[in-house]
Amino acid sequence: MILADAVVYASPIYCYDFTSQLKTFIDRHYCLTINFGSPSHTSSIEGKKVALLITCMGTEEGNADLAEEIFDRSMRNVLKCNLIGKYTIPLSEAPDFNDRAKEVANKLTKDIIQK
Does any domain span residue 1?
no
Local confidence band at 109 (pLDDT 50, 70, 90 cut-offs)? very high
**What is the domain-level CATH number for residue 86?**
3.40.50.360
Q: Is residue 91 part of a domain?
A: yes
CA–CA separation, 73 vs 29, rounded Å?
13
Q: Whole domain around residue 44: which residue ranges?
A: 6-114
Q: For residue range 23-57, what is the model confidence (pLDDT) as tens digits?
A: 999 999 999 999 988 989 999 999 999 999 999 99
Residue 106 lies in a domain: yes
In this structure, the strands spanning 6-12 and 49-55 are parallel
Examine residue 96 and state whether it is found in any structural domain, yes or no. Answer: yes
Measured over the CA atoms of residue 82, residue 4, residue 1 and residue 22, the dihedral's sign is positive
Domain count, the chain: 1
| Within a domain: 26 | yes
Q: Please give the span between the terminal C-alpha atoms of the chain, in angstroms, as a whole number.
A: 18
Q: What is the pLDDT of residues 57-92, one digit of tens each?
A: 988 778 888 899 999 999 999 999 999 999 999 999
Residue 109 located in a structural domain: yes
Instruction: Tell me if 92 is assigned to some domain.
Output: yes
